[in-house]
Structure 1
């Protein structure tokens, strides 16, 4: 499929359950566990448990309906707001948040979170703790000046951005604009924790293929500097699987602190 025919996630939407099954499930044929589950969970656990990230209010702006990257954050942030681009993804998240019948099974990740923390608490307790920290799930639109209009939120002590900027940006200019809109929600001195895919042109959910802006490590680092984010930490994990549903070369985790 030519890249010009790839769908845009934030415009065309996707099936959130297909996305979760493909990249985050516990199924035997799910080949992305090292990159999409273990790597981000380990990175976020390291950052939050080290005491490098502080505050009470966190905003998460991420792709789809994933929640596994937030377990560590919920140990330190009492108030978390999730921003998502699609109503279907919000509905999927609400099923899990309110523990409704048919909610996605995240028990493999809550068990992994407990193992990272060296605790023996049942996985249900990890999920309950995260649920109790989530205040709201709001729809966002980066085409608007206030991306969560008409809602107004206080500036966040920390923002998590997972696999979203490269998906909603067509090119370098759009990536920069979307990064700037993201950190407008961040307090001076606050931190942006970003995880993304590098050198990616497409990704799939179900039978649909979606656009991805192919940024590299140098570009992302430079982008952080241009918007006034001082890089505190970064790590890259080269791809550890073989699959044609997505063509990324590596996962990037990067932490930037907004100037005072």
Structure 2
């Protein structure tokens, strides 16, 4: 077993957001995570938003790297999306796409996956343009500050979504619960929290670097949410199908919960 003490920390060490996108989210023929990371996420979140009646004015996104594919359904149900990023490289990569600048990462393959599920997909408005318009702000945050976006004070959100972030910023169970609590403070009373996580993971690779991942299971995250006053409305676990040594997750979990008023 690899010594995890040598692994880098996503929010502390230099992180190559573009290489991460190429490894795990691209349309390259050898990209192994199309079903587990792209299609499954789009399918589950479409179901969460449409069936779960989750909607409102403000959604706050706290997710890995500069990913956007998990927000396609969200922009159908929320007027404004505020994206929080922990480092400058992730911010620059995301803004390059939002502003349609030369060299922006290509997300067309994921918007096509989303539109395949829409009844009027051939008449569907350009999903990427719709999402770009919904992303109102991209803000840097600091996990150790009481107000993570200090000096900016964010309006309370109707929904917070976190995609594969809690486990890579948490060293242990206590960290996970502490950060979960911070994220939940961004919500209005009765607001919704959506978590996508990689179960049973110890590391993920970006370029030559291996990054730490806190290992947990479904039972742990269920108890953590319950302990913070959330009621779980949706939970689905997709067992791993990808063949790759870039990351050692066993399954992907999708959970939607609402905060007790």
> What band does the TM-score fall into relative to the shorter chain?
over 0.9
Give the aligned partner of residue 167 of structure 2.
166
Give the aligned partner of residue 259 of structure 1.
260
SS of the residue aligned with 2:73? helix
Rate the CA distance shift 1:125–1:131 in 2: closer, same or farther, 3 A.
Answer: same
Cα deviation for residue 45 of structure 1 reads: 0.5
* 2:131 pairs with 1:130: yes
Rate the CA distance shift 1:175–1:84 in 2: closer, same or farther, 3 A.
Answer: same
CA contact (8 A) 1:199 1:250 kept: yes
Cα deviation for residue 2 of structure 1 reads: 1.5
Give the aligned partner of residue 89 of structure 1.
90
Deviations 1:90-148 (A, max 9, x none): 00000000000000110001111111123334888111000110110001111110011
Rate the CA distance shift 1:5–1:155 in 2: closer, same or farther, 3 A.
Answer: same
Gaps of 5+ in 2: none
TM-score scaled by length of structure 2: 0.97
- Cα distance in 1 for partners of 2:13, 2:96 equals 22
Give the aligned partner of residue 217 of structure 1.
218
- Cα distance in 2 for partners of 1:238, 1:51 equals 23
- Cα distance in 1 for partners of 2:89, 2:192 equals 29
Cα deviation for residue 150 of structure 1 reads: 0.8
Give the aligned partner of residue 76 of structure 2.
75
Give the aligned partner of residue 228 of structure 1.
229
Mean Cα deviation higher: 114-123 or 228-237? 114-123
RMSD over aligned Cα atoms: 1.2
* 2:111 pairs with 1:107: no
- Cα distance in 2 for partners of 1:28, 1:21 equals 11
* 2:6 pairs with 1:5: yes
| Number of equivalent positions | 260
Give the aligned partner of residue 32 of structure 2.
31
Gaps of 5+ in 1: none
